[in-house]
């Protein structure tokens, strides 16, 4: 089981670059890049809230469940 992010696709759809979105959300580009690439084990609700506000989306649009075959 794995939780994956759909952030890169949403950013493209909404016309945001990594730098622009990081600035709007108020986090570093490194942290946003880690979220975008799924290199995280947790995300603060406040960060997820700000991303959703800026991208005008729901948390479920960003985070997806993907079953991984072993």
- 14 pLDDT more than 90: yes
What pLDDT was estimated at residue 47?
A: 97
- 1 pLDDT more than 60: no
Q: Give residue-wise pLDDT tens across range 31-68.
A: 999 999 999 999 999 999 999 999 999 999 999 998 88
Spatial separation of the C-alpha atoms in residues 25 and 18, rounded to whole Å: 10
Enter the pTM of the model: 0.89
CATH of domain 2-66: 1.10.260.40
Domain residue ranges of the chain, discontinuous segments joined by +: 2-66
Give bridge partners of residue 3 from the DSSP assignment: 65
Task: Write phi, then psi, for 58 (nearest 5 degrees).
Answer: -105, 155
What pLDDT was estimated at residue 70?
A: 67
* 9-19: burial string, b at 16+ Cβ within 10 Å, e else: ebbeeeebeee
Q: Are 1 and 68 in contact (CB under 8 A)?
A: yes
């Amino acid at each position: 089981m794995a939780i994956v992010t759909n952030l890169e696709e949403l950013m493209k759809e909404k016309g945001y670059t990594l730098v622009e979105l990081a600035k709007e959300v108020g986090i570093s580009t490194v942290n946003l890049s880690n979220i975008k690439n799924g290199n995280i084990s947790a995300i603060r609700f406040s960060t997820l809230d700000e991303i959703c506000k800026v991208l005008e989306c729901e948390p479920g649009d960003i985070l997806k469940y993907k079953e991984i075959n072993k």
